[in-house]
Structure 1
Amino acid sequence: MRKHILITAFARASWGGLHENVLDEVRALVRFGFNVSLACAESRLAMRARLAGAHVITVDWADLDDAVVKVLGNGRYDLVHAHPFMSRELALIVSKAQDVPLVVTIHGNYLDYANSWVTEASHVVCVAEALRDNFLLKVDKADSSKVSVIPNGVADQFFERDFLSLDQKAKDGVIGIAVASRLDKDKSPLVKAVIDGIAAIKKFDADAEIVVKILGDGTDSKAVTSLIGDAGATTDFVGWRMSERVADVLEQAVLAICPGRAASQSMAIGTPVIAAGSQGLAGLQVGSRISSGWWSNFGGFPVNQDPGLDHLKVLLEDGKVYSQVQRDGRNFLHSRARQSVVDQNMASLFVSLI
C-alpha cells in the first residue's frame, strides 16, 4: 500500500515562494509514488495541486476545529508535513491524534513558538543555513540532529538553458530589470534595492533606458510604480507567474532584483542578481558574495552586506565579466538547489521517518 503523506499549507498571499515550494513538494511526492493529501484554502494552489495528483482537503483557516474534523475524516496518514503558523497548529493536532511523525518546515526569519512544539516534531526542515543556525541558537529544546537544511529548489530546466549573452539581452539598448516578489510593506529593503540599482546605472549612463518588469503584486504596487518613475525608469507589471513562465522573463532581463527562490532562479538561468528580501539586503551576487547570499536565503535573514553596486558598471559594460558572473552563479547552485536534488532529499527524509 502506498504511504499517505498529509501536507498542511496556510499562506496569506495569493501566490509566492511558499506556494511554489508546496506545489513542487506535491509533484515530487506523487512522482515518487506517495499518496498525497493537501490541506489548504480553496485557491490557486489547491487547483494546481489537484492537477498535480494530490487530494485537496479544503479548509477554512478561520475555523481550526472544523479543519481538524475534515482532515482526520480523510483517513489515516503515515506522516504529516507542516508549513508554518496555522498549518503547523493543524498538523500538530493531527499528528498527535494519529501518533504519526511530524515534519515542520521553517521558511523565514521566525520561530513560530517552537519551544512549545519542537519536542513533538520528528524533524524540522529549514530552507536556508541562516534559518537553521538561528533556530538552533534560539530554540533551547531543539535537538540539532533533528534539524536540517533543505533549500527551495530551482527546476532543473533552468540549469539546462544556454546563457543569453549581455549583447543578446540588451540588443535594443534597453536595460531590463526583473523584480520577482510581493510588493508589500515588509518588502521595503527590496524596493530600496530597486531604486538604488536604477540610480547606480544612471550614475554611469544618465541616458539609459531602464524598464523594470515586476513579477508579482501587492498592497504597495502603486507606490513602487511611482518611486520607479521618479528614479527615471518605467514599470511593466507582468503579475504572478508560475516557475515555468517566470523563466522567460528572468532569462531576458539584464539584471534581476529579488529574494530567496527567485534569486536562485535568476542565477541558475543566467541573470545576475541583486538579492534583497523582507529581512534585508544581500547585495549583488558576485564572487564570494554568493556564499553569504546563499546562507541568508538571499535576503530572507537579516544581513549587513554592502550592496556592491560599484560592480554594476563593469558588469553591464563588459560582456566577458557578465559571462563569468553567469557561470559562477549557476555552478554554485547546481549541486545545491536543483529541484531533482531537493526532491530526493525531502523524500529520503520522509522515508527515514515512516
Structure 2
Amino acid sequence: MSRILLLSWEYPPLLVGGLGRHVHALAGALAAAGHEVTVVTRQAPGAPPVEHVEGVRVIRAAEDPPAVDVTGGNLLGWTLAFNHALTRAALRAARGHRYDLVHAHDWLVAHTAVTLRDHLDVPLVATIHATESGRHQGWLPAAHNRTIDDVERWLCAEADRVIVCSEYMRAEVIRLFGVPAERTEVVHNGVDALRWRARPRAVAAARERYAGSDGPLVSLAGRLVYEKGVQHLLAAEPLLRERFPGLRMVIAGDGPYRAELERLAGPAVTFAGFLTGHDLTALMAASDCYVVPSIYEPFGMVALEAAAAGTPVAVAATGGLAEIVEDRVTGVKFPPGDPEALAGAVAGVLADRDHARALAWRARQRVVDDYNWPSIAARTAAVYDSTRPPGSSLLANEPKFLLSGRPGMPMAVPVG
C-alpha cells in the first residue's frame, strides 16, 4: 500500500467545480482501499486547518496576507502566493511522515508539487483535468493564458506519469505538451451512484419549485463560462417551447458569464445559482432531461452524475462526453454549438417517455458497473505502482524548466 500526498486547490467544503469533488472521492476511495492519504489544499472559511475525515488526513493552508486580487481572469499573482502557502503547509505535514509519492491536480499546484518532489525525493504523478488551450478552443488571448499553458507543459514534463480522464485528453496532452505516450495514463473519473439518488420528497419539492404544471423540466448545472455552451441551450429554448409550450428550464451554477447568459434567457428560464448536495441531486432527479451542451469537455462527469440520479441525458458529442455516452443507448448526442440539433435531441427524449426511461436505466447501470470509485482508485493506484524512481524520467536529461520557448514569456520557478 502507498503513502500518498495529494495536492489540490479545492477540496470540500471549498468547491469551485468538478476537480474538488474528484479529489475528495479519490482520496476517500484510496483510503478505503488501505492507502495512507494526506490531502494538502486551500483553507476554507470555518474549516479546521487539520482534520482526519473519511480516513483521510486533510491539511488546509491559509492564504498569505494581504489577499491577492484577481482581475481580468489573471490568476497568476494569486497562484504564486497560494503555492507559497501550500508549500509551507505541505512541508509541515511531512514532518514525522514518510510519503511514497506526490500526486498533483492541475497547474494551480505545480510549483508546490515540483518542490515537494525534490524535497521528499519521491515520484510525481500529475492529473491534468483540462488545459488552458482547450478551454479557449486553441486560442491563448493574453500573456497570462500563455503562461498557464507553459506551466501545464512544465508540470507534464516534470511528472513521472501524467493521468488524464479520457482518450480525448490523452491525445490533447500528447499534442500540446509533447508528453510521450508511454507516460500518459487514462483513468476515468468516478461517480458514487448512491450519493446521487435523491429522496422522493426532495424530488417532489424540486419539481414543485422549478417545473410548470403543464410541461417538462430541462436542467443544466455547471460553471457559467463560455466553454460550457450554456448559450446554445438558451438559444434552443424557444425551439423547444414551440413544441412543449409549458417547458421550464433551470440553469444551476455561477461564473463570470452569468450576467450575459441572463440577458439571453427567456422568461421560462430560472437561474438557480450554485447548488450543492441534496439540492443539486434533487434538481437532476426532478428533470425530464439533463443537458450538457459543452464546447470543450475533457470528461463530462456531470453527465454521469445526472445518469446516477436516474435522469436521461443529452450531451454534445465532444471531448470525453463523446466517449462516455453511447448515442441512443445511454443518452442522446448532438453536434456541439448547434442549437437546432440540441433542440431536436432533447425533444426526442421529452416526446418518448418510454425511450427516455430506458436510456436512464441503462445509463445508471453503466455508471454502477464502469465508473464506481473503488475501481477508479484501483486504476489510480496501479499508475502509482508504475512510476519510476526519481531521476529516471524520460525527460531526466532535459532542462528542468524547459517551457515553450516563446520569447518574452516569464519562466516558471518552484517556490518554497
Could you say which TM-score interval applies, normalised by the shorter chain? Answer: 0.7 to 0.9
Q: Measure, in 2, the Cα distance between the counterparts of 1:31 and 1:322.
A: 35
Aligned to 1:10: 9
Unpaired segments ≥5 residues, structure 2: 64-78, 134-148, 201-206, 295-299, 390-416
Post-superposition offset of 1:292:
10
1:215 to 252, 267, 285: 252
Post-superposition offset of 1:136:
1.7
| Structure with max Cα Rg | 2
Post-superposition offset of 1:42:
0.6
Aligned to 2:53: 51
Aligned to 2:315: 275
Post-superposition offset of 1:277:
11
2:262 to 225, 229, 242: 225
More displaced 10-residue stretch of structure 1: 102-111 or 323-332? 323-332
1:70 to 89, 112, 135: 89
| CA displacement, residues 37-63 of structure 1 (integer Å, 9 cap, x when unaligned) | 222211279669853332314153515
Q: Measure, in 2, the Cα distance between the counterparts of 1:306 and 1:345.
A: 39
Aligned to 2:372: 338
Post-superposition offset of 1:254:
0.8
TM-score, length-scaled by structure 2: 0.67
| CA displacement, residues 173-198 of structure 1 (integer Å, 9 cap, x when unaligned) | 342222210123x34x5222321332
Q: 1:248 to 1:49 in 2, by over 3 A?
A: farther
Mapping 1:92-103, distance limit 5 Å:
92-103=114-125
Matched residue type, 1:175: P
Matched residue type, 1:98: L
Mapping 1:2-41, distance limit 5 Å:
3-10=2-9, 14-41=15-42
Post-superposition offset of 1:155:
0.8
Q: Measure, in 2, the Cα distance between the counterparts of 1:245 and 1:51.
A: 23
What secondary structure does 2:218 align onto?
strand
Aligned to 2:219: 178
In percent, how many aligned pairs have the same letter? 21
- Cα pair 2:8 2:39 within 8 Å, conserved: yes
More displaced 10-residue stretch of structure 1: 268-277 or 102-111? 268-277
Aligned to 2:274: 239
- Cα pair 1:156 1:339 within 8 Å, conserved: no
- Cα pair 2:285 2:309 within 8 Å, conserved: yes
Q: Measure, in 2, the Cα distance between the counterparts of 1:289 and 1:190.
A: 23
Q: Measure, in 2, the Cα distance between the counterparts of 1:304 and 1:324.
A: 25
More displaced 10-residue stretch of structure 1: 245-254 or 150-159? 150-159
What secondary structure does 1:55 align onto?
strand
More displaced 10-residue stretch of structure 1: 129-138 or 64-73? 64-73
Q: Measure, in 2, the Cα distance between the counterparts of 1:303 and 1:292.
A: 15
Post-superposition offset of 1:104:
0.3
2:112 to 79, 90, 108: 90
Matched residue type, 1:266: A
Count of aligned pairs between the two proteins: 332
Q: Measure, in 2, the Cα distance between the counterparts of 1:16 and 1:292.
A: 24
1:349 maps to 2:383: yes
TM-score, length-scaled by structure 1: 0.78
| CA displacement, residues 121-168 of structure 1 (integer Å, 9 cap, x when unaligned) | 12110012211011122332x2212211112211132688999xxxxx
Matched residue type, 2:290: A
Q: Measure, in 1, the Cα distance between the counterparts of 2:380 and 2:321.
A: 29
What is the CA RMSD across the aligned residues, in angstroms?
3.9
Aligned to 1:131: 169
Mapping 1:108-257, distance limit 5 Å:
108-110=130-132, 112-113=149-150, 114-140=152-178, 142-157=179-194, 172-184=213-225, 186-187=226-227, 189-205=228-244, 207-212=245-250, 214-228=251-265, 231-235=266-270, 237=272, 239-242=274-277, 246-257=280-291
What secondary structure does 2:229 align onto?
helix
